Amino acid sequence: MAPLLDVAGVAKRFGAVTALSDGALRVGTGEIHALLGANGSGKSTLCKIIAGAVARDAGVLQLHGADAVLKHPRDAERLGVGLFYQELSLVPQLTVADNIFLGHERTAPLGFLSARRKRADVTALISRFAPVLGDGFSPDVPVARLAADQRQIVEILKVLSRKPKLIIFDEATAALDRRQVAIFFDVLRELRAEGVSSIFISHRMDEIFAVSDRITVMRNGVTVASFATADTDQDAVVHAMVGDAPLRERIEHPRPANAAPARITLTSGTSRRLHGVSLSVGAGEILGLGGLQGQGQSVLLQGLFGAAPFTNGTIAIDGKPVPVRSPAAAVRHGVAYVSGDRGRDAALQGRSIFENIANATLVREKRRVFWPRQLKPRFEEALKQLNTKYASLDAPIGSLSGGNQQKVFIARWLATGAKVLLLDDPAKGVDLGAKADFFSLARGLAAEGAGIVFYASDDAELLSVCDRILVFNSGRITAELTGSTLTSFHLTKAAYGEAA
Ligand SMILES: Nc1ncnc2c1ncn2[C@@H]1O[C@H](COP(=O)(O)OP(=O)(O)OP(=O)(O)O)[C@@H](O)[C@H]1O
Ligand SMILES: [Mg+2]
């Protein structure tokens, strides 16, 4: 029997950039197929071609055994293909329900009854995620008011509501926590039982091995390998991904001196979702924030950065109390903030890579005008340290792959030379190799005297770089892990231990 999807020899160029030179992918009926590869290897481009959102320059694309003509996403939708966009496609001003139904009227001539049936289906879908939807989620709330993980769930619901036969999830789990991912995987498995196929893109190996039946690997625009998940292991997959380039493992480093002076201290930090949190980070230290997602870690970082100021409590930098009522004030005191939620907190969409990096430097150095010739070498250096794939600093930010955009937002802060770094799940969507480079860079900045506060939704990331981890539950610190308790076992136990 012909596979549901058979793609071969697909090529695509964007101007001078070759995004794909030999993309291939075969997906069977009722199969969960993982697609992986380094940032910029062509995964999103291949998926957009399959979903009719990007036109290919060459290659064969068959659906249900027949050549598919895809001139528009609608053509693919009619053939039963649905795409979850890595850069989310939601309209912030519209409600959750309106976003989910947006475009439905185009694809099917709906009578009143079937519209009502669709609403009932969506309500059923929402109830699947009900235990993990978090505060403030309802079908009638505008998407703009939702947190990153909630938006990601809306995008998932939006795709599922169309009942496709082949669903492509382009990094659909990047902003989700473990419990949310577990429910999402259950839904995928139920769909598989109904004969629905999915393509699942993720940079997290544990997820890929937990849920996929097959794994296809891309490198530099070429499909280089495909495995049955049961017959392969992580080493083989990583090897296919990176080729002969070595991958850094653990970040080894000398422990910071205990007597190091405090870079930043918070005393009794309080806000609506944070209850009297005190902590101190020394020069040279990387302090991790652990626990389930949404227990106050991001709220704390945004408070320290002045983006969501504390209602009570004091912040001291280098021993001096400072009022941090706005991000501009924080930046002037040498504080930097990197968020993995690039769409919402970070990107100046439609602007160049240069402008996206420069805006932080301008505030830090109180400049009103910039001299690109002076700044460019500095920015290029920061991007090079992270192995960023880009054509030129003048290219629009939207021309970069998702992971490479995230590297620009990291570089933005590296270029400011901050002494306190607040990292809010910064490596979301960044591939394994670049992640290791980024963490060793963070280690290097700490060694030069920076104090770093680091939240990651991925425990492995926390454990590989942190000197100490504070575990959060419901807006409070409930455990502190150091030395021999810096293990996955202790972290999991502390995170789940007192969770609501
Ligand atoms: N609209 C565009 N204009 C110019 N270049 C583009 C465009 N879209 C993608 N590219 C380039 O094509 C290459 C492949 O990008 P793609 O988004 O497919 O990568 P990816 O594998 O999805 O990476 P990531 O893991 O970072 O999401 C990258 O070099 C990217 O810069
Ligand atoms: Mg991508």
* Amino acid sitting at position 461: E
Q: In angstroms, rounded to a whole number, what is the distance separating the alpha carbons of residues 129 and 125?
A: 7
Mean pLDDT of the chain: 86
pLDDT digits (tens, 9 = 90+) for 448-465: 899 999 999 888 889 989
Ligand number nearest CA of 401 is 1
Return the best residue to mutate from 48, 84, 401, 408 for the ligand 1 pocket (most ligand atoms within 8 A of CB).
401
Residue closest by Cα to atom 2 of ligand 1: 399
**Total Cβ atoms within 10 A of residue 191:** 19
Give the pLDDT score at 46.
98
Distance CA 220, CA 460 (A): 27
Closest by Cα among 150, 163, 155, 241 to 198: 163
Residue 59 has pLDDT above 90, yes or no: yes
pLDDT band for position 14 (50/70/90)?
Answer: very high
Which residue has the least CA distance to atom 27 on ligand 1? 402
Give me the pLDDT at residue 75, please: 93
In the numeric block, the tokens 């939807």 are attached to: 133
Distance 404 CA to ligand 2 centre (A): 9
Paired tokens of 406: 């995230």
Mean pLDDT of the region 354-360 = 77
SS3 440: helix
Rounded to the nearest angstrom, the distance between the alpha carbon of 19 and the centre of ligand 1 is 6
Q: In this structure, which residue's CA is closest to atom 8 in ligand 1?
A: 399
Mean pLDDT of 365-375: 63
Ligand 2 centroid to Cα of residue 39, in Å, is 7
461/62: higher pLDDT: 62
- Residue with CA nearest ligand 1 atom 12: 19
CA of residue 37 to ligand 2 center, whole Å: 9
Position in ligand 1 atom list of the atom nearest CA 403: 26
pLDDT tens digit sequence for 312-345:
999 999 999 999 998 889 988 999 988 877 544 5
Ligand 2 centroid–CA 45 distance in Å is 7
Closest ligand 1 atom, residue 395 Cα = 4
Looking at the chain, the whole-number percentage of residues with pLDDT higher than 70 is: 89
| Fold match, 5-242 / 262-497 | yes
107 has a pLDDT exceeding 70: no
73 or 292: whose pLDDT is higher? 73
Higher pLDDT, 264 or 500: 264
Closest to 467 in 3D by CA, of 246, 290, 343: 290
Does the pLDDT value for residue 394 go beyond 50? Answer: yes
| Ligand with minimal distance to 84 CA | 2
Question: How far, in Å, is the centroid of ligand 2 from the Cα of 394?
Answer: 21
Facing residues of 114 across strands? Answer: none
DSSP secondary structure code for residue 257 in this structure: P
Stretch 278-299: mean pLDDT: 92
Q: What is the pLDDT of residues 438-447, one digit of tens each?
A: 888 888 889 9
Q: Is the pLDDT of residue 285 over 90?
A: yes
Please answer whether residues 416 and 359 qualify as being in contact, where contact means their C-beta atoms are separated by less than 8 angstroms: no
Question: What does the pLDDT average to over 52-75?
Answer: 94
User: Residue 168, class by beta-carbon neighbours within 10 Å (0-12 exposed, 13-18 middle, 19+ buried)?
Assistant: buried
Mutate to test the pocket of ligand 1, among 200, 400, 404, 435 (most ligand atoms within 8 A of CB): 400
What is the pLDDT, as a whole number, of residue 458?
Answer: 81
Fold held by 262-497: Rossmann fold (3.40.50)
Pocket of ligand 1 from Cβ distances under 6 Å: 14, 17, 19, 37, 39-45, 86, 389, 399-404, 431
| Fold entry, domain 5-242 | Rossmann fold (3.40.50)
**Which atom number of ligand 1 is nearest to the Cα of residue 218?**
21
Mean pLDDT throughout 94-123?
70
- Return the percentage of the chain with pLDDT > 90, whole number: 47
User: Which tokens belong to 291?
Assistant: 């626990």
Indicate the domain borders of the chain. Answer: 5-242, 262-497
Confidence of residue 499 (pLDDT cuts 50, 70, 90): very low
